[in-house]
């Protein structure tokens, strides 16, 4: 009975955000550095203490550092302007600064947190990750990770530039129109499997040499058709010119 209680307690402690076992509170120096960055670059839209400004930007209370790190480290935030969807661009802040802002937002209202380290695919089962990718991710990001169109100008971005941390953060926080895949739905180990699969998919050379966007037989057929027709056309011109 006591052992069972201890087990339940430790499992609980492991899952509660901000608990002692995982995600130890960031050093306050990070939080204050993050607050400085926030107050100079984010406060216009997200308001003082990240409470949001109506019509400009949402409240960031409770979004967690996973969301902040995804948006900032991929350059989506600070936003260039209101549009159908924030797009990936040259980041304004580096990795450390993104994590500092994340630590500040985390200190305000908690929320989903990223694990430590840059290598989040280590120990992932690629085959298992492939199964999960096809069930959960491929409908929008396509089987080759090339992304695809959504409604009204929105789109699922390509995974070509995604790092382990951004993929993990995207699953955890569900940025923009991406669904949230919390740890109850896809466990941390399964997230590692998926990341391992995506990174393997990206690093594995395309059979035949050219990937042609990895969007499948339609693109390949189009290239064969256009290139083939043009080559035949020039061959015809050459033959006609010779005789």
Partner 1 sequence: MSTHSGLHAAEADNEEFDHTDPRLSRFDLVKEGARRDGVQLVYYAPRFPVPGTRREARVVRAVGLLFFLSGLFATAFVVAYIWWPWRYQDGSNLSKLYTPVLGVSLGLSLACLGLGFVAWGKKLLPEEIAVQDRHDGGSPADEKKLTGETMLNMVDELGIKRRPLLAKTALLGMLPLGAVAVAPLIGGLIKNPHKPDILFHTGWDPSLNSGHPIAVCREDGTKIRPEDVSIGGQMTVFPGIFNTDGDFVGASNDFADSPTLLIHLRQDDAQVLRSNLVHVPINEQNTWGNFVAYSKICTHAGCPASLYEQQTNRLLCPCHQSQFNILDNARPIFGPATRRLPMLPLTVADDGFFYAKSDYQVPVGPGFWERP
Which residues of the chain form contacts with partner 1 (CB under 8 A)? Answer: 126, 131, 135-136, 139-140, 148-152, 154, 156, 174, 176-182, 184-185, 200, 204-209
Cα radius of gyration rounded to whole Å, the chain: 23
Q: How far is the CB of 35 from partner 1 (least distance, A)?
A: 27
Complex with partner 1: residue 180 or 229, whichever CB lies closer: 180
Task: Let me know if 171 is exposed, middle or buried by CB neighbors in 10 A (0-12, 13-18, 19+).
Answer: buried
Q: How far is the CB of 138 from partner 1 (least distance, A)?
A: 10
* Under 8 Å between Cβ of 93 and 38: no
**Could you give phi then psi for residue 45, rounded to 5 degrees?**
-100, -40
- Percentages helix, strand, coil for the chain (3-state, rounded to 5) are 55, 0, 45
Beta carbon nearer to partner 1, 41 or 115: 115
Q: Give the residue with the Cβ less far from partner 1, 116 or 204.
A: 204
Tokens 């900032």 — which residue? 72
Residue given tokens 């256009």 in the structure block: 226
Q: Which residues pair with 149 in a beta bridge?
A: 155
C-alpha span between 99 and 172 (Å, rounded): 16
Instruction: Say if CB 50 and CB 105 are below 8 A apart.
Output: yes
The residue among 48 and 135 lying less far from partner 1, judged by its C-beta, is 135
Minimal distance, residue 200 CB to partner 1, in Å: 7
Cβ proximity to partner 1: between 86 and 164 the closer is 86
CB atoms within 10 A of CB 157: 22
CA distance 157 to 138: 12
- Smallest distance from the beta carbon of 181 to partner 1, in angstroms? 6
Q: How far is the CB of 207 from partner 1 (least distance, A)?
A: 5
| CB nearer to partner 1: pick between 22 and 36 | 22
User: What's the closest the beta carbon of residue 44 comes to partner 1, in angstroms?
Assistant: 22
């Amino acid at each position: 009975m006591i052992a069972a209680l201890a087990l339940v307690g430790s499992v609980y402690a492991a899952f509660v955000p901000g608990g002692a076992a995982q995600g130890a509170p960031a050093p306050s120096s990070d939080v204050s550095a993050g607050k400085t960055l926030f107050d100079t670059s984010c406060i216009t839209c997200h308001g003082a203490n990240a409470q949001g400004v109506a019509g400009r930007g949402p409240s960031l209370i409770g979004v967690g550092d996973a969301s902040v790190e995804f948006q900032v480290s991929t350059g989506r935030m600070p936003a260039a302007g209101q549009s159908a969807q924030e797009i990936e661009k040259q980041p304004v802040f580096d990795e450390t600064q993104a994590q500092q802002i994340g630590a500040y937002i985390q200190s305000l209202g908690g929320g989903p947190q990223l694990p430590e380290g840059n290598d989040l695919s280590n120990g992932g089962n690629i085959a298992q990750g492939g199964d999960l990718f096809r069930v959960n991710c491929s409908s929008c990001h396509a089987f080759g990770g090339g992304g695809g169109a959504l409604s009204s100008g929105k789109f699922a971005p390509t995974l070509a530039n995604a790092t382990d941390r951004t993929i993990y953060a995207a699953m955890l926080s569900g940025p923009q129109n991406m669904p949230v895949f919390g740890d109850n739905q896809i466990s941390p180990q399964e997230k590692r499997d998926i990341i391992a699969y995506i990174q393997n998919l990206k690093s594995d050379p395309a059979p035949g040499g050219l990937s042609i966007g990895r969007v499948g037989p339609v693109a390949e057929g189009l290239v064969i058709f256009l290139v083939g027709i043009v080559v035949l056309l020039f061959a015809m011109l050459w033959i006609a010119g010779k005789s």
